[in-house]
Amino acid sequence: MRAAKRKDLKVSAGRPQPLGATRDADGVNFSVYSEYATSLSLLLFDSQESADPDHVLVLDPDVNKSFHFWHVHVSGITPGQLYNFRAGGPHDTSVSGCRFNPNKVLIDPYALGNVNSLWSRTCALGPGDNVGAAMRSVVIDPDDYDWEGDEPLRIPLEDTIIYEMHVRGFTQSPTSGVAHPGTFAGITEKIPYLRSLGITAVELLPIYDFDEQDVLRHGPDGTPLHNYWGYDPYGHFAPQSSYCIEPSAGSHLREFRDMVKALHHAGIEVILDVVYNHTGEGNQNGPTISFRGLANEAYYHLVPQDKQYYMDYSGCGNTFNANHPVVTKYIIESLEYWVSEMHVDGFRFDLGSVLSRGPDGAPMTVPPVLWNIELSRILAEIKVIAEAWDAGGLYQVGRFPGERWAEWNGPYRDQVRAFVKGDPGLVGEIATCLGGSSDLFAPQNELPTNSINFITCHDGFTLNDLVSYNGKHNDANGENNRDGNDDNRSWNCGVEGPSDDPNIEALRQRQIKNFAAVLLLSRGVPMILGGDEFRRTQQGNNNAYCQDNELSWYDWDLVGANAETVRFFSSMIAFRKRYSTLRRPQFFGSRVNERGVSDVTWHGCDVNRPGWGDPDSRVLAFTLGGFNGERDLHVILNMFDFTLRFELPEIPNSQWARVIDTGLLPPDDIVDAGQEVVVDDIAYQATGRSVVVLVSQDRAER
């Protein structure tokens, strides 16, 4: 879409609300926050190739400023219009923190789309004019779309199974076979695969506009490395241009909405991984893109003693001042926009603990931005998930402000990794993990659904690499392997990296199934890292944030090569959906069903003897009582290297039948409903390093 050319523009005062570029019947109203600017100009461009604006509208503060907001209405322009701002005012970095520079061309923080064909990050640095090398914001009409009756799905948290994925990485590889690789449309093409897997939600790594052109450093082979993950946004309303097929046409909203609508039609929710803790403008040496040039002193936490420097609770150079009133307004309106206009079903907040810090940087008991999110009418039914820590030392898992927030459960990840690889003495901790981490969430009167359970995520090893490497191998990142987590609790099963040894390969396959089984047997909300189900590898790199290449892209040839693993994951997901006892949104209690089976009963190799105090134990078994007509379940976890005999509990008029045994070869490792194999013994021989699940049957069923 391109704005029509015109010689004369009709300009009037406009209005201060809403912020951004808002179309009406006559034209467009522009409004931007800048409390201390002494001058502000609106630049209009007839095309994105225009190095200079075709019109410059210098705003009169007596007419075009209301309190902290600059505004102007321009008649005769339409969606597709490209625009920027210039702001003049004090440049007093030490005392006030203001960084006004009228030479710098600024995008609109509220822009619904931006184009960057002329963008040069280098030109945005330093004091010089960058009009010929700046991004352009685009006027977009959000009402110009047919949702065809689409609504958010509102799947309950207890029934949710999250699949974390990167938009580009998911389909960028030629092996994906899609028509539009690396785009929102590419995801749409892969919906049949996602449906067959059985997940209920995709969680997309950041899709807000971010800068992919900046060369972070060079790899050992000289390859320039760029920001791939996208955790450095410069706009929180605009979809990432490079994830669109035709960003120059202003199709940002349409292409994203098409994907959301198609996913909803398939019964899959869309959760966005969002970054409101910092921006891509970086520290005092970073580029001026938007926030810095409009209201640096409001948008960022500055060092009180010398405001040319930024407080860095994010580890990324700056920290968003989320509880400043105007910044809180910005964040809330951004989130509400993505829900009301884009039909997003939820958000995962990167370094969410930053949002609990007040203007002085200290944690707040009642952070306004978090409680505004929790209490917003528009956000009331969507999922809100926090990464409940930050780079400044705040760690709030189980203590995150608010009550309905779910949280990434880092302790769950660490304890399950250690137990499955064979660390002893963890049976008590694993029992707690399986029950929804009551140690973390019950003291705050929260529930298992406050726990996002995961074994792997984008930040760390893939599941294949977790069982294939003892240490990280991040040399390709150009930081001499210093980056990335050193505490991975991984085990290579005997050989570092790929192996042709069939015994090692079989053990790795079994360990992957063990992790998947434990994850999907746990109360709480399971999250699977995309590609783990077909053993995607990053060759031991546990911090692939700068690897926009085959190392990070999903290799779809592995779906066929590892069909056994894909089948296990999809069957395990179906099993979880079949038994509500695995998905109850309450912690284990004292209920007893009509067969006399408790909500949960813990065992070891002997019934009712779990071995809580045994420092050498690597086994745990438990029985889950089925209610409302459901069958009882019995689970055996044997993480010793050898086969052990597990006594089975007796249930009147019932027998046990095997559904899952990761120690068996497919298809016996997991069977479909109705294909269960009756156990003709009072005990079960569980192979070393295996997970077994049995279901009760009436003896008459045999």
pLDDT at 700: 65
Crossing angle of helices 325-340 and 291-299, rounded to 10°? 120
The CA distances from residue 243 to 187, 263, 629, in Å, are: 10, 16, 47
- The two domains 10-138 and 589-701 share their CATH topology (first three levels equal): yes
CB 356 within 8 A of CB 394: yes
The CA distances from residue 397 to 402, 451, 510, 518, in Å, are: 12, 9, 30, 21
What is the reported pTM?
A: 0.96
**Could you say which DSSP state residue 266 is in?**
T
CATH topology of domain 10-138: Immunoglobulin-like (2.60.40)
**For 104, left (φ over 0), alpha (ψ -120 to 50), or beta?**
beta
**Could you say which DSSP state residue 395 is in?**
B
d(CA 129, CA 126): 9
d(CA 240, CA 168): 11
pLDDT along the chain (702 residues), means of 10: 54 97 96 98 93 96 97 95 97 91 98 92 95 95 95 96 98 98 98 98 97 91 95 95 86 94 98 98 96 98 95 96 97 98 98 96 95 95 97 95 95 98 97 98 96 98 98 97 96 97 98 98 98 98 97 98 98 98 96 95 97 95 96 98 97 95 98 96 97 92 53
Assess whether 599 carries a catalytic annotation: no
Write down the H helix ranges in 172-251.
Answer: 184-189, 191-197
Tokens of 348: 């995962």
Which is the catalytic residue, given 189, 209, 350, 599? Answer: 350
pLDDT at 90: 96
- Which residues are paired to 471 by β-bridges? none
Query: What are the φ/ψ torsions at residue 397 (nearest 5 degrees)?
Result: -60, 125
CB 687 within 8 A of CB 643: yes
Contacts of 319 (CB under 8 A, 6+ apart): 277, 278, 300, 301, 310, 311, 312, 313, 354, 357, 361, 392
From the list 579, 580, 598, the residue with the least C-alpha distance to 588 is: 598
d(CA 104, CA 121): 12
Contacts of 105 (CB under 8 A, 6+ apart): 43, 84, 85, 86, 129, 130, 131, 134
pLDDT at 5: 43
pLDDT at 377: 96
CB 137 within 8 A of CB 111: yes
CB 33 within 8 A of CB 69: yes
Assess whether 387 carries a catalytic annotation: yes
Which is the catalytic residue, given 387, 429, 532, 676? Answer: 387
d(CA 331, CA 350): 13
- Domains of the chain, residue spans: 10-138, 158-275+323-423+441-570, 589-701
d(CA 26, CA 574): 54
d(CA 70, CA 30): 8
Cis ω before 448 (30° cut-off from 0) = no
d(CA 635, CA 645): 13
Tokens of 433: 């993990």
d(CA 522, CA 334): 34
- Cα angle vertex 576, ends 678, 151, to 5°? 150
> Looking at domain 589-701, what is its CATH homologous superfamily?
Golgi alpha-mannosidase II (2.60.40.1180)
HSE toward the beta carbon, residue 685, CA cutoff 13 A: 5
How do beta strands 69-75 and 65-66 pair? Answer: antiparallel
Which amino acid appears at position 519 of this protein? L
Tokens of 279: 């921006």
SS3 content of the chain, % helix, strand, coil (to 5): 25, 20, 55
Contacts of 564 (CB under 8 A, 6+ apart): 509, 666
d(CA 75, CA 8): 10
From the list 20, 557, 93, 98, the residue with the least C-alpha distance to 297 is: 98
Cβ neighbours of 285 (radius 10 Å): 8
CATH of domain 158-275+323-423+441-570: 3.20.20.80
d(CA 52, CA 56): 10
Q: Is 622 exposed, middle or buried (0-12, 13-18, 19+ CB in 10 A)?
A: buried
Contacts of 594 (CB under 8 A, 6+ apart): none
How do beta strands 224-226 and 215-218 pair? Answer: antiparallel
Residue by residue, DSSP assigns 567-586 as: HHHHHHHHHHHH-GGGT-SS
pLDDT at 674: 94
Q: Is 259 exposed, middle or buried (0-12, 13-18, 19+ CB in 10 A)?
A: buried
